[in-house]
Amino acid sequence: MIMLLFGCSFSKTPSKPVTIQPKIPAETVSTLLKEASVQYKVLANRLPAGQFPKSYHDQEDRLETSGSDWWCSGFYPGTLLYLYQATGDKELQTEALRIMTDLKKEQYNTTTHDLGFMMYCSFGNANQLAPRPEYRDILVNSAKSLASRFSPKVGAIKSWDSTPNDFLVIIDNMMNLELLFWATRATGDSSFYKLAVTHANTTLQHHFRPDYSSYHVLNYNSTTGAVQQKKTAQGYADESAWARGQAWGLYGYTVMFRETKDPKYLTQAMHLADFVLQHPNLPDDKIPFWDYNAPNIPSALRDASAGAINASALLELCRYVPAPTAQHYFSAAETMLQSLSSDTYRAAPGTNGGFLLKHGVGHLPQGSEVDVPLTYADYYYIEALRRYQEFRR
């Protein structure tokens, strides 16, 4: 059976818009995936035992790593599994399974909201490729850990721990809801589904401005549920549009429509797509500056990670909308993929520490992970290439 990679897992392909004809040759996409597989073996060979790749610093030839509790820990095995499915190279699967033995303890981690990223992008993909009771148990426990951070008073899942009166929620948290939908399907327990919908509705109500730009961080009162503050952490300013935050919202509400079929989520996803694609500061290659309101545009840094997330989201969203809009979204994603696959963003084989993409921006205000490769940029780039392949099936 042909499967389409949706979110952090494999699921059935929805109907394909009949008007869409991919322009990137099939052999080009296959070559990109094969070359990515070779590149990720370079990364695997540099990785110390018990460590997960985080980034790479070219001038120092230094691989930056983390423990399993870092929010990005699931992207490396997830990318390996995507590439294994694309190429059949068992070395990639073996490496993914090896590092997942270090990751599985995070199923009980109740100190983070990122268990969707960490566990569903890894064990979720592994479970779809080769289902095992162990994977199911790990994913259910992960969903329970994530659900433990939900507040009925606020109507949301807490992102970051803070003072007792603060309840911080970031737009990124929309990406972790997919794990909860899976948990309801796997267990029959509808409480996971209801938590995901409630969180998405609270975010929909409070996180967005009239032009559909998003705040990064909302601070709710933990006792009353009232909004206390709207601000940024990783964006340029409280009232700016941080590029990766916009991408998280676009992707997250596309998933919400897929999982619930509620049209309000499709409407929101389309508004978020249009904000990005119609923004006057979006460059011609459609890889955004790190913030749409960065003060030094056009000299501001680009963020390949935001471009990759946008491309993957649009390649799903275009399947749910009428033909003219579908073609518009698909063509934009196609341009993003062409740009990301060019020498400007894609690293030459054997370089970049084994990472695929250059020019990611993690946390510029903090001076962390600035203009470097990032595991999540690679993950969503490969996911987008796999989704693109499906339009020829």
pLDDT in tens, the chain (393 residues): 223 334 454 444 576 666 799 999 999 999 999 999 999 999 999 999 999 999 999 999 999 999 999 999 999 999 999 999 999 999 999 999 999 999 999 999 999 999 999 999 999 999 999 999 999 999 999 999 999 999 999 999 999 999 999 999 999 999 999 999 999 999 999 999 999 999 999 999 999 999 999 999 999 999 999 999 999 999 999 999 999 999 999 999 999 999 999 999 999 999 999 999 999 999 999 999 999 999 999 999 999 999 999 999 999 999 999 999 999 999 999 999 999 999 999 999 999 999 999 999 999 999 999 999 999 999 999 999 999 999 987
∠ at Cα 385 (379, 390), nearest 5°? Answer: 130
Which one is catalytic: 172, 291, 303, 378?
Answer: 172
How many domains does the chain contain in total? Answer: 1
d(CA 362, CA 374): 8
| 378 catalytic residue (yes or no) | no
Q: How far is CA 301 from CA 215, 236, 275, 288, 298, in A?
A: 20, 12, 20, 9, 8
Which pLDDT score, from 0 to 100, does residue 19 have? 78
Type of residue numbered 24: I
Which pLDDT score, from 0 to 100, does residue 252 have? 98
Which one is catalytic: 89, 114, 291, 378?
Answer: 114
Domain containing 15 equals 4-392
Cβ 165 vs Cβ 158: under 8 Å: no
d(CA 271, CA 349): 38
Q: How many CA atoms lie less than 13 Å away from 166 in the CB half-sphere?
A: 13
d(CA 390, CA 393): 5
Instruction: Look up tokens 């500056």; give the residue.
Output: 289
The CATH number that applies at residue 304 is 1.50.10.10
Q: How many Å is the maximal CA-CA distance in the chain?
A: 57
Tell me the angle at which helices 304-317 and 375-389 cross, rounded to the nearest 10 degrees: 30
Helix (H, G, I), strand (E, B) or coil at 393: coil
Type of residue numbered 219: N
Burial (CB count <10 Å: 0-12, 13-18, 19+), residue 170: buried
Instruction: Look up tokens 């509400």; give the residue.
Output: 253
d(CA 358, CA 356): 7
d(CA 14, CA 294): 37
Which pLDDT score, from 0 to 100, does residue 94 have? 98
Cβ 22 vs Cβ 391: under 8 Å: yes
Q: Where are the beta strands (DSSP E) in 158-256?
A: 166-170, 217-221, 227-231
| 172 catalytic residue (yes or no) | yes
Q: Residue 187: which H helix or E strand, with range?
A: helix 177-187
